Structure 1
Amino acid sequence: MKVCILLFCCMLGVQVVCAQPEETINEIEQAYPAYREASLTHRRFKHADILPLVQRLQQAAAVEVRELGTSIEGRAIYQIRVGSGPVKVLLWSQMHGDESTATMALFDLLNFFTAEDEFTAWKKEVLTKVSVYLIPMLNPDGAQRFTRRNRLGVDLNRDALRLQSPEARILKAARDRLQADFGFNLHDQGRVYAAGRSPQSATISVLAPAYNYEKDVNEVRANAMKLIALMNRRLQGLIPGRVGRYNDDFEPRAFGDNIQKWGTSTILIESGGAPGDREKQTIRKVNFVAILTGIHAIANGLYEDEQLEEYERIPFNERLLFDLLIRQATIELLDREYLVDIAINQWEVNDSSPQGFHFNGQVVEWGDLSPFYGYEEIDASGMTAEAGKLYPRRLKNAKALYKLDAQQLIQQGYTHIRMKKLPDPLPDTPFVLLDKQARYQPELRLGSAAHLLLKRNGEVVKVIKNGFVVWEKE
């Protein structure tokens, strides 16, 4: 019926009205930088960083801020409401403390909804139809340490039944009190997932979680599927080929599965990886557009005529990606040469530096990796891969380091240099610098640190340090 009405409108020449929703969201997307919360610039922000944003929202017109309770360590957990419509939409983010992409996007959305601008009339129309409740940073203690679990060491997404954690009880009580019609369960997933069996990373993965082992589809779950199908069309315009479908096996302890079971049409959004976006600032914008598209569709019932087949066509995400994949290198093992692909991941390790982490590059797999892909790939056909040597002299300081002929040492096969005292800050150098206690690893093996040389005809052509290409022969 809706399609017929739209066609009739267009036949009458009311093209602006027929095209307006899509055009308006296009325009909002273009204006996104105006709504991007400028104080959140990286993933490792903490509860103290969002408190000024919550306090600012408490002063905004037509916004309700409510403290729902506190975490194990006493950090406040807030619910922020915009809109006054009869359809209730509940969104929660950072249930896992190290999954912060959607929290940034939620504050971007709140900036959008509270701004007075050329979209004010559009927003008012939406917000008279829906009431939007947002719970950013459900796990503030985990966020403090940028770790998945809460202060008890409990995974909140496995506490939906026993409700032993205060954070889990807060989410359950909010859902029950509101009896939300729709729920957005907002997470991050690793960079290792591809959208189907392709080299394209699953920048976003979506799911209408199952509510039983049989994966039955009732009206509640079907509405979530239909909404995802509509959102996916929008996402394909932003990140074509980079949307995957999360594993839909039923997890009886998970919140998404149970909230679906309790009668709220639940949409899982997992923010994955994208080339050149380690801090997920582009993916943050994708979340903003996807969630806004969903809220608008809920407000106007646009999802109702979607076909479930469109949801089913979204490919499952597959664990197929590595940070660096070296293809067809020759390595020596047990006095023989073998042709292998070498997969390297650049793990993030939390620390107390201003950046909040450092990388730990590791050789995580080798052999025939032809079904897999890398964010970066090296064709090492005709090359040998080997560990570098330790420079025989211990250097006194950075000045002595700078006096060395780096290219000559590289061609001699040296990759590690021991120093009496490591410079602070560490200099930008292709060499791995070791203090007197650090262990030097003399061989390349599975599970080892990703420090290696690639040689062609005995000449070094690439140096890989900690999983990154740091030197190449010109």
Structure 2
Amino acid sequence: MNLEQLFDQNKEKTIEGRYITLENIEPLLNKESLKNDVKIIGESVLGKPIYSYTKGNGKTKIYLWSQMHGNESTTTKALFDFINLLNNGSDLAKELLNSFTFYCIPMLNPDGAKLYTRANANSIDLNRDSQDLTQPESKILRAIFEDFKPDYCFNLHDQRTIFGVADTGKPATVSFLAPSYNQEREINETRLKAINLIAGINEVLQHYIPGQVGRFDDSFNINCIGDTFQYLGVPTILFEAGHYPDDYEREKTRKFVFMSLLASFIILNENDIVHNRNDKYLNIPQNNVSFFDFMYKNVKINYDGNEIITNFVAQYKEELIGNKINFNAYIIEAGDLKGYYGHYEYDAKGALYKDGQSNIPKENQRADFNFDGKAFFVNGKLKN
């Protein structure tokens, strides 16, 4: 099966980039081919509708939700790509719909999506509200869980560009977690089902992004929704869409999330899961904070009258300006920075740092500077 071809055939071309809001997805949910399977299941803090999409009549029930954090939109795009596949009339679609019943919440946090914030309109992280259930969005997610009684839960997120795969120097383009169900991080039958499935997905992804799949930290926190659902006896898989080289809009990463979703359902449908693949799961390298967006090496700076050679790094801040996400680069720190990598790296080869004010890169300063007055950088990148 050609997963890349299936992605190209089913990609929802009307949504792209990082800023995905309710206004972007409502036209899709109102399409003739979808609207009979769409319901409004509640409202956000600011009264925005929260939609569900349900499709299939199969025995195995799959519960998927995206944009629990409003500024994490990659999996929302991939979810609509997958919904397109379910509606394309192919033999694969028919097989999946006969085997599964899919219950999707494409955007759990529409207020956060509009504001491009992690939290909801009450500044509450919904992924820390699974016990107290103080927010309407959290209550909706839990109520559907109890009513739908899923066999598997798919908790769909994005992660920052700072994550790499262990110490390999490769970005964690997609990461997974079978959340713990207790403080001891033990493995029971429920968690093992999630572990086995992740191991199968990883084997598929290694053909496309070798060495770029990570395993998320499994420290237990009952306030997190994945840990709660695992504790309640439903196999739950955390998806983290991360960075692919030069893909800050996450258009390539969405493809690998789509592939992961489709691969997981094919594996489940074919019952192609070895009884215990915990070793395979643990062999997936753990996520590690090892990247900056920019790294500049062997830079000469003038520190208290002394010239020294050092390195410094810069990071993008994603800033919402006029309904568009702007990636603005700011200097983070200078130093040895051993063990860290840059998605963009530049060797200054001993050239002197200059920014018009000093010869020292300062924290939180815009990344506009030059080396020896010859190589000029604007917003972190070398200007041609």
What band does the TM-score fall into relative to the shorter chain? over 0.9
Partner of residue 176, structure 1: 146
For 1:126 and 1:305, the matched residues in 2 are separated by 22
2:354 aligned with 1:381, yes or no?
no
Partner of residue 226, structure 1: 196
- 8 Å CA contact 1:388–1:451 kept in 2: the answer is no
2:265 aligned with 1:295, yes or no?
yes
Deviation, 1:263, is 1.3
SS in structure 2 opposite 1:56?
coil
Partner of residue 368, structure 1: 336
Deviation, 1:60, is 4.4
Match of 1:122 among 79, 84, 92: 92
For 2:343 and 2:120, the matched residues in 1 are separated by 31
Letter in 1 for 2:382: V
Question: More deviation in 441-450 or 335-344?
Answer: 441-450
SS in structure 2 opposite 1:37?
coil
2:15 aligned with 1:47, yes or no?
no
Q: Could you report, residue by residue, the CA deviation over 1:264-285 in whole angstroms, capped at 9, with x for unpaired residues? A: 1001010111111111011111
- 8 Å CA contact 2:333–2:362 kept in 1: the answer is no
For 1:122 and 1:448, the matched residues in 2 are separated by 52
SS in structure 1 opposite 2:143?
helix
1:23-42 equivalences in 2 (<5 Å): 24=1, 26=2, 28-42=3-17
- 8 Å CA contact 2:302–2:360 kept in 1: the answer is no
- 8 Å CA contact 1:141–1:150 kept in 2: the answer is yes
SS in structure 1 opposite 2:383?
strand
Deviation, 1:315, is 0.5
2:37 aligned with 1:79, yes or no?
no
Task: State the number of aligned residues.
Answer: 384
- TM-score by structure 2 length? 0.96
Letter in 1 for 2:172: A
- 8 Å CA contact 2:173–2:242 kept in 1: the answer is yes
Partner of residue 185, structure 2: 215
For 1:65 and 1:447, the matched residues in 2 are separated by 45
Match of 2:365 among 448, 451, 463: 448
When the two chains are superposed, the root-mean-square deviation of aligned CA atoms in Å is 1.7
Instruction: Indicate the structure whose relative CO is greater, using CA pairs within 8 Å and at least 6 residues apart.
Output: 2
For 1:35 and 1:129, the matched residues in 2 are separated by 20
Letter in 2 for 1:156: L
For 1:54 and 1:166, the matched residues in 2 are separated by 21
Match of 2:224 among 254, 267, 271: 254
Deviation, 1:114, is 0.4
1:39-188 equivalences in 2 (<5 Å): 39-56=14-31, 59-60=33-34, 64-116=37-89, 120-188=90-158
SS in structure 2 opposite 1:173?
helix
Deviation, 1:362, is 1.5
- 8 Å CA contact 1:215–1:249 kept in 2: the answer is yes
- 8 Å CA contact 2:353–2:359 kept in 1: the answer is no
Q: Could you report, residue by residue, the CA deviation over 1:199-218 in whole angstroms, capped at 9, with x for unpaired residues? A: 11001111001111100110
- 8 Å CA contact 2:19–2:325 kept in 1: the answer is no
Q: Could you report, residue by residue, the CA deviation over 1:348-377 in whole angstroms, capped at 9, with x for unpaired residues? A: 211116xx1333321112111131111111
- 8 Å CA contact 1:327–1:341 kept in 2: the answer is yes
Deviation, 1:442, is 8.2
Partner of residue 323, structure 1: 293
For 1:336 and 1:237, the matched residues in 2 are separated by 50
For 1:125 and 1:453, the matched residues in 2 are separated by 58
Letter in 2 for 1:469: L
Letter in 1 for 2:310: V
Deviation, 1:443, is 5.5
For 1:337 and 1:78, the matched residues in 2 are separated by 59
Q: Could you report, residue by residue, the CA deviation over 1:46-95 in whole angstroms, capped at 9, with x for unpaired residues? A: 102211111116x449x622221111111111221121111111110000
Alpha-carbon spacing, 1:96–1:346, altered in 2? closer, same or farther (3 Å): same
For 2:376 and 2:321, the matched residues in 1 are separated by 26
* Structure 1 runs, 4 residues or longer, greater than 4 Å off: none
For 1:443 and 1:327, the matched residues in 2 are separated by 14
Alpha-carbon spacing, 1:131–1:229, altered in 2? closer, same or farther (3 Å): same
Letter in 2 for 1:137: M
Deviation, 1:339, is 1.7
Q: Could you report, residue by residue, the CA deviation over 1:295-354 in whole angstroms, capped at 9, with x for unpaired residues? A: 12122321244521000000111111111111121111111112211111122211116x
SS in structure 2 opposite 1:31?
helix
For 1:358 and 1:85, the matched residues in 2 are separated by 43
Letter in 1 for 2:356: G
Match of 1:333 among 284, 298, 303: 303
Partner of residue 191, structure 1: 161
SS in structure 1 opposite 2:40?
strand
1:455-466 equivalences in 2 (<5 Å): 455=372, 460-466=373-379
For 2:4 and 2:365, the matched residues in 1 are separated by 44
Partner of residue 272, structure 1: 242
SS in structure 2 opposite 1:201?
coil
2:179 aligned with 1:202, yes or no?
no
- TM-score by structure 1 length? 0.78
Structure 1 gaps of 5+ residues are 1-23, 390-440
- 8 Å CA contact 2:165–2:286 kept in 1: the answer is yes
Q: Could you report, residue by residue, the CA deviation over 1:129-174 in whole angstroms, capped at 9, with x for unpaired residues? A: 2111111000001111111111111100010001011100010011
For 1:45 and 1:448, the matched residues in 2 are separated by 29
For 1:128 and 1:34, the matched residues in 2 are separated by 21
SS in structure 1 opposite 2:50?
strand
Question: More deviation in 369-378 or 99-108?
Answer: 369-378
Match of 1:358 among 305, 326, 342: 326
For 2:192 and 2:69, the matched residues in 1 are separated by 27
Structure 2 gaps of 5+ residues are none
